[in-house]
Structure 1
Amino acid sequence: MQQKPARPWADAARAAPLLVCGAIAGPLFVGVFLITGATRAGYDPLRHPVSSLALGDLGWTQVVTFVVTGALTVAFAFGLRRALRPLGGSIWGPVLVGIWGAGLIGAGVFVTDPISGYPPGTPDRLTQYGSAHAALHDGVSVLAFVALVAACFVFARRFAGWGSPLWAAYSAVTGIVFTGAFVLSSMGFEQTEGLVNLAGLFQRVSITAAWCWLSLLALHLLRRQEIGDRAGG
């Protein structure tokens, strides 16, 4: 008797819990910084970076958020690798998403320096790093941001090859928006005139755009997997 071939989506089915990790990481991260940023004394969400929420007595909430959402994103990267196999697979896309996740963990472990006058009583800009962990925070954060932008364009190319022009366009636009808003926020945190009081807003635009893309990507692949399971069943 001839053995029935395995369904193309059989291996990808095991990725479902990991894809769920990717779907919830973004809303969790954004929800925490919106709530804490709106309630923290002396903190201005339009002016101050998300990383500054890790400073002060209640800073542990943002530290935990960095670490937990970073771990969820690393798990999601493994799920991506499995879920994309029926489409032809991708190596660099999941790897870059994993670097983004690892960078978030690093950003939580290595706390940033004060900037733009937060916490209250600190200068707008330190002339040098106040500690080694602040320098490491910036280093891992930049690496994570670059990896995320690269992931957007890698997936834009892959989706175009998979015959998904809308997802290809959405991935590319996310990369462009993320990059532009990140550059403007960085200039504001460097105290560039006219951008200082909006630097936090620009950073939130970049971060929210990135998390929306990642969460929707996870949900998209979960949906494809569900359809594949039905077709195979």
Structure 2
Amino acid sequence: MSRTSNSSTADGHAGRAAARSGIGPPGPESAPTTGSRLLLLGALAGPAYVLVSLTQALSRDGFDLTRHAWSLLANGDWGWIQVTNLIVTGLLVMAGGAGLRRTLRPGVGGTWAPRLLVGYGASMVAAGIFRADPALGFPAGTPTDAATVSWHGMLHFGSGAIGFGCLVAACLVLARRFAADGLPGWAAFSRTTGVLFLAGFVAMAASGGRVAANLAFTAAILLAWTWLSLTMRHHRRRAATRQLPTPDRRS
């Protein structure tokens, strides 16, 4: 009996020493904590992107919110700000997607929702690297009827189309997850966001710069970023709830 007690004591000391030194398997709180931090980064992506974009749109000479897409801000002397904005925001979205992977699995959408959001983030990084062509008189001095499309302009549009497709699909996949979790309001919010964003993008792409279509797409962008930030915040809260320690019944 003495040997058993000594062995247990030694094992306890060894376990505590291993925990202090970081040796051994991670505790049960490691994954949720990391996931929570990643989800916070994802939640910050939308507000940061919208704030930086609107600040430029309202301050840069010649930019018209009713006619110009935000991607045109990547041109001109101050274009590096929007380039940086796109790349940093894309990285934040990718971090949020990685956080969702940790918190959604296993379950409906636990594999594809994170992948689609990472794809959307990667497309934003690509859209920042490959700038849109100047158009519709912006930056100042650009012909209003400029129709030349460069190779980087084509890659910008292509990466945007792929990314927007990933975002719409992520909305629909997460709608299924919310429905499976018994959250019909969140499911409807996700489906509505996906459908309206797709409609706004198609209208903008087919309109040739018409004011109504451009404003509709701007509204769809704001809705999508609101949805993404709230979704990240929701899953971060759920992860924190699951992480709370359970009472020790032996005490």
Q: Indicate whether the TM-score tops 0.5.
A: yes
Q: Is the 8 A contact 1:69 1:104 kept in 2?
A: yes
The Cα shift of 1:160 comes to: 1.1
Query: SS at the partner of 2:244?
Result: helix
Deviation string, structure 1 residues 79-122 (Cα, Å, up to 9, x no partner) = 01001126566111010001110000001000111222212332
Q: Does residue 197 of structure 2 align to residue 183 of structure 1?
A: no
**What is the CA–CA distance in structure 1 between the aligned matches of 2:109 and 2:69, rounded to whole Å?**
36
Letter in 2 for 1:205: A
TM-score (norm 2): 0.82
The Cα shift of 1:226 comes to: 2.0
Which of 221, 235, 239 is matched with 1:207 structurally? 221
1:47–1:158 Cα change, 3 Å: same
Does 1 or 2 have the higher relative contact order (CA < 8 Å, sep 6+)? Answer: 1
Q: Unaligned stretches of 5+ in structure 1? A: none
Alignment of 1:67-146 (within 5 A): 67-85=87-105, 90-129=110-149, 131-146=150-165
The Cα shift of 1:179 comes to: 1.2
Q: Is the 8 A contact 2:74 2:132 kept in 1?
A: yes
TM-score (norm 1): 0.88
Letter in 2 for 1:84: L
* RMSD of equivalent CA atoms: 2.1
Name the count of aligned residue pairs: 223
Match of 1:30 in 2: 50
Q: Unaligned stretches of 5+ in structure 2? A: 1-7, 9-25
The Cα shift of 1:186 comes to: 1.8
Match of 1:50 in 2: 70
- Which region of structure 1 is more displaced relative to structure 2, 120-129 or 137-146? 120-129
Rg (Cα) greater in structure: 2
Letter in 2 for 1:101: G
